[in-house]
A and B are shown apart, each in its own frame.
Chain A
Amino acid sequence: RKEVEQDPGPFNVPEGATVAFNCTYSNSASQSFFWYRQDCRKEPKLLMSVYSSGNEDGRFTAQLNRASQYISLLIRDSKLSDSATYLCVVNEKSFQKLVFGTGTRLLVSP
């Protein structure tokens, strides 16, 4: 089983739609969780950290479910500019390593 698993997509949605991605992780000792965004042929950039109580940043909401070992990302009112690959990231080994999922591709169309 991979350490971090994501549905690769692509998720094709119209502008204004709400879309959600899930990610599962295998190490129950993981302590910190993130969503990164990667545009085509660019470097990944932090979208948001994921806190135990859940957190929201504008149209983006992240949730953590430790019991089931998954994190989620909800995007409301999708924009064309949200088209990208979203990477789920989990911290391992006493914070020394970040483990990346393979990413979920989102395509938002007019």
Chain B
Amino acid sequence: NAGVTQTPKFQVLKTGQSMTLQCAQDMNHEYMSWYRQDPGMGLRLIHYSVGAGITDQGEVPNGYNVSRSTTEDFPLRLLSAAPSQTSVYFCASRAGTGYNEQYFGPGTRLTVT
């Protein structure tokens, strides 16, 4: 009964480093999303996917890439980390229609120095 899993839970990067945040879900959900959450800003959508092979940009996509080669996995890549990307990152998934509950992973706390 894993739901949405994210790794790592915590990460510290130096400016300019790259890394991939992993996200997986075992509920066969079509929709997956990545958000970042910053104090006073709420959850902001970075990228989302409506199915394998289909991705689209959200509100704050710059500096991040995603791919969706399988229904289960939706990794988020930071291309060249910047201090402005210090945040808590949440991956989420939900079944297809807009009336369904969205499930979140436990989050990744990223610090860029």
Q: Which residues of A contact B (CB under 8 A)?
A: 8, 31-32, 34, 42-46, 49, 87, 89, 91, 94-103
From B43, B48, B99, give the contact of A100 (CB < 8 A): B43
A31 and B98 in contact (CB under 8 A), knowing A43-B90, A97-B58, A102-B42? yes
A102 and B40 in contact (CB under 8 A), knowing A31-B98, A32-B98, A95-B98? yes
Q: Are A43 and B48 in contact (CB under 8 A)?
A: no
Q: Are A32 and B48 in contact (CB under 8 A)?
A: no
Q: How far is the CB of B88 from chain A (nearest CB, A)?
A: 8
Q: Are B104 and A43 in contact (CB under 8 A)?
A: yes
Residues of A within 8 Å of B40, CB to CB, are 8, 102
Determine if B26 is an interface residue (Cβ-Cβ < 8 Å).
Answer: no
A-B contact pairs, 9 of them (CB 8 A): A31-B98, A42-B107, A46-B102, A87-B43, A95-B97, A96-B50, A96-B56, A98-B102, A102-B40
Q: Are B101 and A46 in contact (CB under 8 A)?
A: yes
**Nearest 10 CB-CB pairs, A to B?**
A95-B98, A102-B42, A43-B104, A100-B43, A91-B98, A46-B101, A32-B98, A32-B99, A100-B42, A44-B104
